[in-house]
A and B are shown apart, each in its own frame.
Chain A
């Protein structure tokens, strides 16, 4: 599965970087970076949690 960030919606709250630090990271300018787009099965619980708590609903998973 691939993680998709809707950059029009992302507001840089950084909540995803808490839930899935191996996938998302905030830089010094509060911009979000996706460290890896392909999500392994064992990362799914963290990534699912990140999707759930993103306050801007900017994250989704696609095959």
Chain B
């Protein structure tokens, strides 16, 4: 008994990885992939890095296609609804199609915006078209670039602007850049080179609205003050793309709510930025918006769907989240989960020398390691974090110089 036709909704990294995993099974008969963008799948990380710095043409972002006669790509097609009965997808134009093998939801997330975001000269950076639009605007050598939001995207955009010789200001709502995610000391260290290269960083500066007569001219801050701007880039985070699931009966609460195995309902699974699931490794119930997570979840959700047909084993999805950011020649890596951390210790190197690893405690456990220009040690901590690590053991491990790779606290 083969697997009936399957639909993958979302043709980005999680969707593509899911398709790859599905086609590895000879039992799969047909996979239809819906993507609302006209482009075939592409990789997003270079859009704010190599592409924005001008060292890559956008064509290099294309992801390796899945060449399999069972797969049908329907890009430029918007899915407007889901009925669990079937399961059935409703498409723009009013038609509906059933996919009795199941539906894999990988619709991702969309950038947050603010009032005035539709003015010319205001950009978000999520899609390939966003990157092309921002590139074109930066090529006109604007006098004042303002980046709203001092997160990863904001920092990478600022670095690219500096390398283009542009005057750039980063507005951060918190009291220090990356304060909530990395802590003030590490956040400042990450932004040190930005400051040294002339990036203006304004903290406690929440953006309220954008103004202009058609093209943006100024940024209004929450305190009522205004800042002149010729180009504004919004790096204010993203929200999951779930509107199309209204009325589906699925539980929607800051994403598609899944069980620990990434199942949202019988024959319906989710993966990537849109999926909220209990990660039992960290005792968290959240979405993880990382590139690495999209790949791992895309594959896992595909196998989870096949498990319902008896062609894979049903397993929980547990992960040690990992994300990286490139700014200038600096490499920032976060492994684990810094959410609600209680303490940060710079355990290797120093922030002053711009090469360090910081450890993060929550409760009595190590929950994350943040490396700055220290990839080797991050790999060690990532391996370590695969299982719970007591904080005192982590500090002892760090004091021992992070020891040989084969030893870890808890191994006796």
Tell me whether A18 and B375 are in contact in the complex, defined as CB-CB below 8 angstroms, given that A12-B331, A55-B45, A55-B291 are known contacts: no
Number of interface residues of A (CB under 8 A): 16
Select one of B299, B373, B374, B383 contacting A52, CB under 8 A.
B299
Interface bracket on B? 20 to 34
Contact A53 B379 (CB under 8 A): no
Complex contacts, B43 vs chain A, CB 8 Å:
57
Contact A55 B324 (CB under 8 A): yes
Does the CB pair B405–A21 fall under 8 Å? yes
Q: Which of A2-55 contact B (CB under 8 A)?
A: 11-15, 17-18, 21, 26-28, 30, 52-53, 55
Which residues 323-350 in B have Cβ within 8 Å of A in the complex? 324, 326, 331, 333
> Which residue of the partner chain, among B45, B292, B379, contacts A14 with CB atoms under 8 Å?
B379
Interface of A is mostly: loop
A29 to chain B, nearest CB (A): 8
With A18-B382, A52-B299, A55-B324 known to touch, is A30 a contact of B376 (CB < 8 Å)? yes
The reply to whether the CB of B279 lies closer than 8 angstroms to some CB of chain A is: no
B349 → chain A, closest Cβ, in Å? Answer: 12
B106 to chain A, nearest CB (A): 16
Tell me if B's interface is mostly helix, strand, loop or mixed: helix
For the complex formed, measure the closest distance between the CB of B316 and the CB atoms of chain A, giving whole angstroms. Answer: 18
Say if the beta carbon of B178 comes within 8 Å of chain A. Answer: no
The answer to whether B296 and A13 have CB atoms under 8 Å apart is no
Whether B376 and A18, one on each chain, are in contact in the complex, defined by CB atoms closer than 8 angstroms, is no
CB distance from B173 to the nearest CB of A (A): 28
With a cutoff of 8 Å between Cβ atoms, the chain B residues found around residue A52 in the complex are: 17, 295, 299
Residues of chain B lying within 8 A (CB to CB) of residue A30: 373-376
In the complex, whether B322 has a CB less than 8 A from a CB of chain A is yes
Q: A53–B292 contact, CB under 8 A?
A: yes
Interface residues of A (CB under 8 A from B): 11-15, 17-18, 21, 26-28, 30, 52-53, 55, 57
- 26 pairs across A/B with beta carbons < 8 Å? A12-B331, A13-B324, A13-B331, A13-B333, A13-B375, A14-B375, A14-B376, A14-B378, A15-B292, A15-B379, A18-B379, A18-B382, A18-B383, A21-B383, A26-B375, A27-B376, A30-B373, A30-B376, A52-B295, A52-B299, A53-B292, A53-B295, A55-B45, A55-B324, A57-B43, A57-B64
